[in-house]
Amino acid sequence: MSTQHSRSAAKLMIAPATFLLFVWMLVPLVMTIYYSFQRYRLLTPDRRGFIGFDNYVNFIDNPAFWSSMGNTLLLVGGVLVITIVFGILFALLLDMPMFGQGIVRILVIAPFFVMPTVSALVWKNFFMNPVNGLFAFAAKALGLQPYDFLSQAPLASIIGIVSWQWLPFATLILLTAIQSLDSEQLEAAEMDGAPALSRFFYIKLPHLSRAITVVILIQTIFLLSVFAEILVTTNGGPGTASTNLTYLVYAKSLLSFDVGAGSAGGVIAIILANIVAIFLMRAIGKNLDS
């Protein structure tokens, strides 16, 4: 395969993809960094100029920043815990012999294909609405006071919605991983006298550890950027109670038209994502070798 001719043809074929991604990554990155050191408001574009770290200082000094950092971490952490715990349970259940397994799989996977704006609106109106939502009806039926989820517990509600969207993903990946477990290993453990619970903790869970790592890392990448769900349900409110970093940058740049501050926030988001990325790349890179 590796003759001189085929190697130079190969380079030529990789070139467009590499070049495009390089431009796509580098140009905006450089611009974001550049803007982050500029005073640049779209409403007063003539008062532009270099202002050093002022944008960063202002962005970080804002109480909204720290609450958005907290919200981002809660959102990511909350969704990860929910999806992985329930994902493992669902995957174990779906791996068992049953009637109509294919259909159950289809039902479970469905939410992943629902676009974020639709799922946010469905949950907001049909379930969480304090007047006409199904939860309100259920509360009234039980003689309780209806609860206004999105104004009283906005972040938890959003965590719930996002978890519903990502649970199928976790379940599907963990199920795939469980099914790839060599059944002879489990039979050997059974012959060795390990009861079902021990078989889960000593054989299945270690086997799943890699899949769990992958789920954590990939979901984290996406969850750091949750946006549509917040925009559609709470607009980040009340106050900044459900504003995450992504939404804060959006609000700064496209609602307050402060390009400089927004860019500073963008750079912070990039740094945060890169910390996660390093771990993800390691996990996937290892897989390349095996």
| Least distance CB 198 / another protein (angstroms) | 19
Point out which span in 48-56, 113-121, 150-158, 199-207 binds another protein (CB under 8 A). 113-121
> Of the two residues 15 and 57, which places its CB atom closer to another protein in the complex?
15
Identify the H or E element spanning 246: helix 245-250
SS3 call for 45: strand
- What φ, ψ does residue 48 adopt, rounded to 5°? -85, 155
Contact code string over 19-38 relative to another protein, x by CB under 8 A: -xx--xx-xxx-xx--x---
Residue 69, number of CB atoms within 10 A of its CB: 16
In single-letter form, the type of residue at position 37 comes to: F
Name residues contacting another protein, limited to 78-97 (CB under 8 A).
Answer: 90, 93-94, 96-97
Q: Which of 210, 238, 239, 255 binds another protein (CB under 8 A)?
A: 210
283 binds another protein (CB under 8 A): yes
**DSSP E strand stretches across the chain:** 38-41, 44-50
98 binds another protein (CB under 8 A): yes
142 binds another protein (CB under 8 A): no
| Least distance CB 290 / another protein (angstroms) | 10
Exposure string for 195-229, b = 16+ CB within 10 A, e = fewer: eeeebeeebbeebbeebbbbbbbbbbeebbebebb
Point out which span in 53-61, 77-85, 151-159, 241-249 binds another protein (CB under 8 A). 241-249
50 binds another protein (CB under 8 A): no
220: nearest Cα among 28, 111, 67, 84: 84
167 binds another protein (CB under 8 A): yes
Point out which span in 46-54, 61-69, 134-142, 198-206 binds another protein (CB under 8 A). 134-142
Q: Which residues contact 264 (CB under 8 A, 6 or more apart)?
A: 36, 55, 56, 58, 59
